[in-house]
Structure 1
Amino acid sequence: MNMALNADRSPKGGNAMKGIGTGGGKAFAEIYIVNNDSVEINKYIINNIEAECKRIDNAREIAKEQIKAVMESNAKCQGDDNVGILDYQLLFLEDESFFDDIKRYIRDQHINCEYALHECVNNFIRDFEAIENDYLKERTSDIYDMEKRVQMVLAEKPLQDISCMDGECIIATDEMLPSQVMSMDRNNIKGILMEYGGKTSHSVIIARSMGIPCIVGLKDIKKLVTNGEKVIIDGNTGEVNINPNINDISDYQQYQDNKHLKNVELKKFIDRDTRTQDGVTMKILANISSENDIKLMLENGGEGIGLFRTEFIYINSKTLPTEEAQYRIYSDIAQRNKDKLFIIRTLDIGGDKSIDYLNIKKEENPFLGFRAIRYCLKNPHIFKSQISAILRASTFGNIKFMIPMIATLMELRSAKEMIDEVKKDLENKGIPFCKDTQIGMMIETPSAALMVDRFAKEVDFFSIGTNDLTQYLFAADRMNEQVAYLNSSFHPQLLKVVKDVVDCGKRNGIEVDICGHAGENPYLIPIWVAMGVDNLSVSIPSILAVRQQICNINKNDLIPVLEKVLSFDDAYEVEEYLKTKFQF
């Protein structure tokens, strides 16, 4: 989404601009403009086909070496947490079939390799354009990153080097490639301003993991700032203050002092239990996408894994992952996680997340289509392979199954039957596994929420996926900006549904967790505590802040707040009330 830039005189200092904040707090430094020159891609006929094929092969090898160098440098400076993001690009560059397609295009059409590469990338991108998950949709940036790097090699235009800056600065650019962000000077680059990008683009995700404020959606940013101008940015609100006055600078310095004190306080919560002032205990779990996330989760005091998105194992593989490959990943995570909770969501893939080797047909409405458990039940050989890998890994830790997108009792019972069949097969082969591995389900469809009392008798726990539940409850595509007002976690209708699920859990003696983005919203956390939600599974950087907030509140004081919230008619009233009630 491109948000128009509003530039006018600030009541405090210089020009005030407003973009889309993606987190990271505030920063103050001088502007440094990065010009990522675009490469003009023309189509023309070539005579020497083999020479053209050799050009693309050579450019491919150079790009591979460049990415490997970035990965090696990043691993030394920052550990493995971001290195995995470049694996996908490297996977493409090492994919013989992909580059065979490019060379076939060159030979069949007698055209230049730049154009052939561009067309093949565009063809692949079309398979990603309908992805309903923001994070997965932004995966296309990795493919564009890979293409741009190869195109720059072919054009003999090096990417602007920002790995070693002369002094502290804030980057202003149209866009930054994920590999550029990973290679930038972490000590001196204090913030990033971009015209393009989204909250879940990989460039933004990497910057956020580094603690660097980033603002996107700043139209014509490179034209409206100049090198050397001082600027204060707020990555949380999206505000940009160019040429701030002395009062602005004084406010920023006070912010820095307060931030330091807050960080010192947060670190005190790393080894603390999550317990309210009146003794209610919860667990703050982590949402993870790969084994590379474990180190950071443990460093941030995560009490376990509330959601492992196993679809990334499939997305990052050129072929169907074997049972052994999955087993190695699950068992490695379980051992590093020790005895902490490890909830594995079974394959959540479908028509909206196209993976060539799964041969899933495109659908007109993938949100309501052949995905998750629906796909797994129709493809038992794939589902059972994953089940077997999970069960085998269960001997290494406190592993639980979590089945996504359940809409009917028949679906749930069919999934449980397959798990039982795999258990019997492992027993017959003498392969060890934890026989009482628990099975839970996600509550993310209205039909599941309406039948929650029946489902509670069939599973060991519920986990509420607030993102999908909201869009299905309000029949509003959360990728459609025209109906964005409906996709709010503050809707009293949604809150009532969540409360009904939690109350059902209490009646039936099973835990109810929240693993959607709403679980870490500071204004809603008091509501979840008041409802009696058992655990919250959140993004890794949010773990300590969520724990600190819970440890400083009293559940009994929040009951009247919950009652008041449920009496409102719309999301706006709820949000305004909570923002007035709680100051953050």
Structure 2
Amino acid sequence: MEIKHGIAVSHGVAICPALVLDAEDVRVPRRPVAAKDLPHQRERLSEALDTALAELTELHDQVAADLGPEPAKIFDFHQGMLRDESLIQRMVKFIEEESVTAEFAVASVMRELARTFLQQPSTIFKERVSDVYDLERRVLHHLIGEARAELDHLDHDVVVVAHDLTPSQTAALDRSKIKGMVTDAGGRTSHTAIVARALGIPAIVGLEDATTKVSAGDLLIVDGQRGVLIVNPDEQYLSDYRSHEQRYQEFESTLAQLVELPSQTTDGVDIDLFANIEFPDEIQPALAKGAMGIGLYRTEFLYLSTETEPDEEQHYQAYRDTVREMDGRHLTIRTLDLGADKYTQKRAETPEPNPFLGCRSIRFCLQNLSMFKTQLRAILRASAEGPLQMMFPLITNTLELRQARMILNDVMEDLDEQGIAFDPDLRVGIMIETPSAALIARAFAQEVDFLSIGTNDLVQYTLAVDRGNERVASLYAPGHPAVTQLIRGVIRAAGRRDVEVTCCGEMAGELEYVMLLIGMGLRRLSMTPQTLPEIKKLIRSVSIAHCERVAKRVATYDSERQVLNYLREEARKIMPEAFDNRLTV
């Protein structure tokens, strides 16, 4: 038995044998071609590229029909490469100058491109290497008939294990048989993560060496809640997880009965519950879980799911469709939070050595005004379709806020002059994600309509801990006294100005911290949709007075361990069944 930890990107538990996808390169021998046969090789190349493009277009349409338009955009890169005249001409030139077969030219050019990507400092290029190899194999298949994995006719349930699942591999999966996904590479926005969330199956990425540790047929437990992979578990683990599965299903069925009931404490105080989403197709599942609306709508998907910069109309259509789908419900759109390991690193001439502290989020937007104004115009236009509010991320000082608002006002004036409808009273807020912002929340509260506490980054920046780094993961502690004091200060500052404040980080969706947050004065929580039902159950089981006693007690502790142990015990008293369904590995 072996236990490995990775990045949890889609919740749930799967217990199934492994299907390990072959990651071996196709070996193409160099075979000289006579001059009179070179035109035939060029013709073969053209036919293979055309066939591969048609095949990818069909896969794109299939995924769009099954999972929606956003997951289908993962094929844009592949289709773009097959239409890239410069790349095609490199292959043609290789055939002519080297007098070789079409398949050898394809393999040589594509592998050279992959090596070039690997040598780039930006992670964006490195993440595309698997796409390049996947496209190479697809074209070679049409040239030499190299067999691709038969994933579409599985006869039993499996967990797919791969170095990095490619779009064409995920599209070919027999989704009725795939119960989990595990990859060596990838992050929270990788193809695997996108598809797994859309399918509603557990997935873990970033395991580094799962393909070398797992053999075909090995029994796996995939814990998508905590990012734990157990290879060939012993009987005790199997028994524990199977019992866990059964208990969790029973627990889920009881929680489902709460969806239509109000999120209200035992003494009659309403606690508004909202959902955080990354993609438009998550809206209906979130509402089905009982969300009153969307408290955090991340808009980066428009950039991260395609190779081209979206124009104003693409922005507008996405936001307009969302507003219409919300049908008058609460909707908070966050402006672009690009940066760190995302889009800005790809565009930078010299990638930043420490992007999390560099030109990201609102900083990037303020330095790229054309892009920023494009999004602001689209959001404002969408505001004419129904209620929405907008917030700026990672604001650290009042100057940034005033600059952003000035740009927003300029865009409003432009739209007004053009006779384009928008909501002139659009509510504008900011995210509190750094200690500096938390400490001057009182100043911000005088200039915005609402505040939203982003605890994920607030914890990371307060404690100087990379939350994605397993080596320091134990130091990432939302209950650290420094963090709770900052949150308490933000809530008080907002209260003095009668400004609405919401918590929209993972902390809001964790049972241990809900009573603390309510006790400190929060009445609005926004979280991952999957956690909504159990948070509502807890809220309906406690009073404000109880929560205030909890918050007062926490203020006396000086270590995160004391805080977490106390909060966990308090939550367990209220909802023991939730903690009985948790496993420790």
AA aligned opposite 1:150: E
Q: Deviations over 1:449-485 (max 9, x none)?
A: 2211111000011112222222322334445555444
Q: Distance in 1 between matches of 2:547 and 2:470?
A: 33
- 1:463 and 1:514 in contact (8 A); partners too: yes
Q: 1:160 to 1:433 in 2, by over 3 A?
A: same
Aligned to 1:240: 230
Alignment match of 1:326 (pick from 306, 315, 318): 315
Aligned to 2:501: 512
Q: 1:105 to 1:288 in 2, by over 3 A?
A: farther
Range that drifts further, 443-452 or 537-546: 537-546
Q: CA deviation at 1:574?
A: 2.8
Q: 1:352-371 counterparts in 2 under 5 A?
A: 353-354=342-343, 361-371=350-360
Q: Deviations over 1:261-309 (max 9, x none)?
A: 2232232233333222232323322223333333333333332222222
Aligned to 2:274: 285
Q: Deviations over 1:43-78 (max 9, x none)?
A: 9798788877766655544444444444444455x5
Q: Unpaired runs of 5+ in structure 2?
A: 99-104, 573-578, 580-585
RMSD: 3.7
- 1:530 and 1:559 in contact (8 A); partners too: yes
Q: 1:452 to 1:176 in 2, by over 3 A?
A: same
AA aligned opposite 1:151: R
Q: CA deviation at 1:497?
A: 0.8
Aligned to 1:34: 20
Q: Deviations over 1:214-259 (max 9, x none)?
A: 45638566766563x66655444526374755x7766555444423
- Residue 420 in structure 1 maps to residue 419 in structure 2: no
- 2:81 and 2:87 in contact (8 A); partners too: no
Q: Deviations over 1:302-323 (max 9, x none)?
A: 3222222223323445444332
Aligned to 1:88: 74
Alignment match of 1:526 (pick from 491, 502, 515): 515
Q: Distance in 1 between matches of 2:7 and 2:306?
A: 32
Q: TM-score, normalised by structure 1?
A: 0.82
Alignment match of 1:335 (pick from 313, 324, 338): 324
Q: Unpaired runs of 5+ in structure 1?
A: 1-6, 8-15, 131-136
Q: CA deviation at 1:326?
A: 1.7
Q: Deviations over 1:3-62 (max 9, x none)?
A: xxxx3xxxxxxxx64444736443444x24334232157897987888777666555444
Q: 1:56-455 counterparts in 2 under 5 A?
A: 58-75=47-64, 78-80=66-68, 84-95=70-81, 98=84, 100-101=86-87, 103-104=89-90, 107=93, 112-121=105-114, 123-124=116-117, 129=122, 141=127, 144-145=130-131, 147-154=133-140, 156-171=145-160, 176-192=165-181, 201-215=190-204, 217=207, 219=209, 227=217, 234-236=223-225, 238=228, 240=230, 242=232, 245=235, 254-350=243-339, 353-354=342-343, 361-455=350-444
The 3-state SS of whatever aligns with 1:523 is helix
The 3-state SS of whatever aligns with 2:548 is helix
AA aligned opposite 2:359: F
The 3-state SS of whatever aligns with 1:284 is strand
Q: Deviations over 1:561-584 (max 9, x none)?
A: 223333333333333333344332
Aligned to 2:491: 502
Q: Distance in 2 between matches of 1:128 and 1:299?
A: 42
Q: 1:467 to 1:120 in 2, by over 3 A?
A: farther
User: Across the two proteins, how many residue pairs are aligned to each other?
Assistant: 557
Q: 1:511 to 1:128 in 2, by over 3 A?
A: farther
The 3-state SS of whatever aligns with 1:536 is strand
Q: Distance in 2 between matches of 1:182 and 1:71?
A: 8
Q: Distance in 1 between matches of 2:52 and 2:515?
A: 49
Range that drifts further, 264-273 or 178-187: 178-187
Identity rate of aligned residues, in percent? 30
Q: TM-score, normalised by structure 2?
A: 0.82
Q: Distance in 1 between matches of 2:526 and 2:403?
A: 27
- 1:470 and 1:487 in contact (8 A); partners too: yes
